[in-house]
Amino acid sequence: MVKILLHLLLLLHLALSHDLVDLFTWVTSRRARDIQARRLLQTSATDAATEDCPPVTNSGSCLGFLIQERTIADERDWEFVSSGGLHTCAIRRTSNLPLLCFGRGAEGQKKPPIANGWHTVSSGWKFTCGILLTNQLYCWGDNRHGEAPGLLDGLWQQVSAGKKHACGITLPDKTIRCWGESNNGKTNAPAGKGYLSVCSATEHSCAVNAQGEMVCWGLATHDRTSVPNALSSRTWVSVDCGGAVTCAMDDTARLECWGANVRGQATVPQRQQQVPILGNQTAEQLDGTYDPTTFAVTNCSNGQCIRTRPYHWLSFSVGYHHACGVFLRDPAERVCGSSTSPGKNALCWGDYAYDQDNVPFRPCGKIGTETCSAWKRTAICENLQWSMMSAGGYHSCAISRDDETGKNMIKCWGLVDDGQIGYVNGQVVLIAAGGKLQFDGRLMMMMMALSSALLACWR
């Protein structure tokens, strides 16, 4: 019954957000993909059984999983990643900076016109835009609305690909230009110069100028284009938008979101900590004890209170119905044994239908020639340092640096239907390490890590 309900919800998702051709393609190919997935599961379980590596039974991220070790010869180090509607593109950290894409490619969105020399990339719904080191801008893929015209004239600093339109910041004047579908005025870029950040969503766009002012245009429902009055005095430094939500970071590293919030995608997480009630002190008195400029103490009961304050955000990304970000841990949270680390953690929030907001922890597996084990689910003794997040349609990708190897690895999780997180035609590609696979058509979550010697876990 649960599966039937999930499938009906998925069909509704597709009907509302995809073309009918996409819906027909998915329905007709579902049976074949299910068979491929089950074959992979059977093969993986058989292979794992031949290893001296029984299912993990202790607590950890791979509880009850079969573990299999795999190695790829091509060692990869990554510079940038961007999650689109049903595809992902990433730039490798090598001397020639190649751009690689995986996932859905029916509209040509994963075939860049030039192989090397990329500075940045933005994956849209069914198209992709990228800027070369020469500041030239290309957009490729679905061009039915003029969103992917190929090479655009002029020089560019930033680009943001939305659902059926895109916007970018030009050089040297840093003006805004938009192109593609113009419904609801979402391509009516504001006048002026000196813009620092721009974003394109489904039916609206936003930008931040050098004075820290926010301007948005396009469809105004859900107040997606209006900065809340309580935030009107903020000085903004960057903005991103997706679906019907806008998020922005101010000059004190605080992150705020507004717009549609039916899935919690506009509710930015807050740091919480339990504190004891000292004697008969009230919450107001505790506020003074714990620095009222940064903490608010609430929910006092049973001998303790909950204090909250904003995270110190480093970067963020807004997807279709969810958002992700990287924040700096507090000094007290950085201690791991007798050592400390820079402490860059990751969080996602909003829609979790495909686990796209479920940031993976350290993977499990066999460590060298030792017996099987699973690293504990802990953010304190984590060796991976997150540097950037990218929230897509129904999946998320991120880059994390492994302090032990010094490599920047890509991890992706969420919807896997078109291989956007590294699963294509029943085969795991780019090697997966950690996470769980639910072999039920589109309802699968998997985490992948790109490195030279990685582990893959299957249930």
- Residue 410 forms part of a structural domain: yes
**pLDDT given at position 78:** 86
Distance of CA 339 to the CA centre of its chain: 29
CA-CA distances (angstroms) from residue 87 to 103, 432, 447?
4, 17, 15
- Check: CB of residue 444 under 8 Å from CB of residue 438: yes
> Is the alpha carbon torsion for 330, 400, 258, 12 positive or negative?
negative
Cα–Cα distance for residue pair 111/114, rounded to 1 Å:
9
* 3-state class (DSSP) for residue 280: coil
Domain assignment present for residue 174? The answer is no
Question: Higher model confidence: residue 333 or residue 226?
Answer: 226
pLDDT of 229-252, one tens digit each?
Answer: 999 999 999 999 999 999 999 999
> What's the domain count of the chain?
1
Name the residue with higher pLDDT: 100 or 342: 100
Q: What pLDDT does residue 307 have?
A: 67
| 383 within domain boundaries | yes
Domain membership of residue 36 (yes or no) is: no
Q: Distance between CA atoms of 4 and 438, rounded to whole angstroms?
A: 15
Q: Is 4 part of any domain?
A: no
Note the pLDDT of residue 278: 53
Residue 288: the pLDDT is 47
* Domain coverage including residue 408: 318-459
CB atoms within 10 A of CB 337: 7
Q: Phi, psi at residue 284, to the nearest 5°?
A: -65, -40
pLDDT tens column, 102-146 = 888 899 999 999 999 999 999 999 999 999 999 999 999 999 999
Q: DSSP readout, 107-131?
A: TSTT--SSSS-EEEEEE-SSEEEEE
Nearest 5°: the CA angle 427, 433, 435 is: 95
What is the reported pLDDT for 297? 58
In angstroms, rounded to a whole number, what is the distance separating the alpha carbons of residues 255 and 314?
9
Asked if the structure places residue 352 within a domain, the reply is yes
Angle at 359 between CA 356 and CA 360, to 5 degrees: 115
The tens digit of pLDDT for each residue in 324-363 reads 999 887 654 443 443 444 567 888 898 876 555 556 543 3
Which has more pLDDT, 433 or 328?
A: 328
Residue 228 included in any domain: no
Report pLDDT for 215: 97
Q: For residue 216, is pLDDT > 50?
A: yes
Q: Is 309 part of a structural domain of the chain?
A: no
pLDDT recorded at residue 136: 98
pLDDT of residue 275: 58
Average pLDDT, the chain: 70
pTM of the complete model: 0.69
2-17 and 20-50 helices, crossing angle to 10°: 140
Q: Is the model's pLDDT at 312 over the cut of 70?
A: yes
Q: What is the pLDDT of residue 221?
A: 95
Separation of CA 140 from chain center: 22
> Which distant-in-sequence residues (6+ apart) come within 8 Å of 28 by Cβ?
none
- 397: amino acid identity, one letter: C
Tell whether the model's pLDDT for residue 207 goes beyond 80.
Answer: yes
- Structure tokens that stand for 60 in this block: 């950890």
Percent of the chain with pLDDT over 90: 43
pLDDT tens, residue by residue, 155-178? 999 999 999 999 999 999 999 999
**For residue 23, which of 9, 13, 34, 37 has the smallest C-alpha distance?**
13
pLDDT at 435 over 50: no
